[in-house]
Structure 1
Amino acid sequence: DALHELRTALDILRDGDAPRAPAPRLDDLDTLVSGVRAGGLEVRVEHDGPVAPLTAPVELAAYRIIQEALTNVTRHARATTVTVRLGYGDGVTVEVTDDGTGGPAGPGNGITGMHERAAALGGTVAAGPAPSGGFRVAAHLPGHPS
C-alpha cells in the first residue's frame, strides 16, 4: 500500500535522535547574504525604520522569501547588484530588487512557494519586472498572522 511505503520512507529519512538546527530568522540574514556575496554578487541590505520584534513563523517566512529571491537572482537575473530592503510596522515588508535582465517569472516553484508562505500567514507577495529595470519581489507579512 502506497501510504505504508510513504510512511516507511519518512521514518527512514527522519532520525529522531539527530540534533535539529533552529529555524533561520532574520538575525541570520548576514550569513545568507555573505554566501551570495561570495558568489560575486553585490548585495545591499537596508532597514527602513527600527527593527521590530516578529513572531517565529513571520521571521521564518521572511527569511525564506529573501533566500528564494536571492537564489533566483543568482540563477536567472544576470544581475550585478541586488538590494534587500526590510521595513517594519504592522509586521514586516520585504523587498528584493536586482539590476538584472528583469524578464517575467519562469515556470519554477520558487515564486509560487513565496506566495504560499506569505498567504499561510495572511500576507502577500508581488513579483515581476521592476519599473526601473531588473526584477522585484515585494512581500508583506502581518505582525499577527491570521
Structure 2
Amino acid sequence: MEGTSTAVAEGVALTAHRIVAEALRNVLAHAGPATALVRITVGGGVLTVEVVDTGRGPGRPPDRIGHGLVGMRERVALYGGILRTGPAPGGGFRVYARIPLDPAGAVPA
C-alpha cells in the first residue's frame, strides 16, 4: 500500500479487491512457478492497482480473452477507470487498473 489515507467509495474498494483476487487467481492458473507483487496506491484522486507476476507470461495470443479479464475491464469501466493487461517488462504478466476515487458520473453498478 502506498499513498495518502483517504476514504474510498465502497464500490471502488470492491472493484479493487475483485481485480486483485482475479489477477492472483490467474497467476495460480497460468503463470507456472512464479511470484506475484500486488501494489495498491491512493493519491491524486485515483486508486491504482497493479499485480505483476514473474511467471511464463502470455503465450501466443489467445483466440479470445478470458472472462476474468473481461470482468475486470467492465468493473473498472463502471467507475470511469482504465485497465491495462499484458506482458510485464522483463517477463511475466501485468494487470494495471487506475480508478477515479470520485466516481461522479460513473455508471451505477
**TM-score, scaled relative to structure 2:** 0.85
Name the SS of the counterpart of 1:103 in structure 2: coil
Larger radius of gyration: 1
Structure 2: 5+ residue stretches without partners: none
Runs of 4+ with >4 A deviation: none
Residues 73 and 79, structure 1, Cα contact 8 Å, conserved in 2: no
By relative contact order (CA 8 Å, sep 6+), the higher-ranking structure is 2
- The share of aligned pairs that are identical, in percent, is 45
* Aligned positions of 1:53-64 closer than 5 A: 53-64=7-18
Relative to its length, the structure with more strand (as a share) is: 2
Relative to its length, the structure with more helix (as a share) is: 1
Name the SS of the counterpart of 2:30 in structure 1: helix
Name the SS of the counterpart of 2:23 in structure 1: helix
Match of 2:72 among 111, 114, 118: 114
Structure 1: 5+ residue stretches without partners: 1-46
Name the SS of the counterpart of 1:83 in structure 2: strand
**TM-score, scaled relative to structure 1:** 0.64
Q: Distance in 2 between matches of 1:109 and 1:50?
A: 33
Q: Distance in 1 between matches of 2:82 and 2:33?
A: 25
Name the SS of the counterpart of 1:136 in structure 2: strand
Q: Distance in 2 between matches of 1:116 and 1:79?
A: 29
Aligned residues: 100
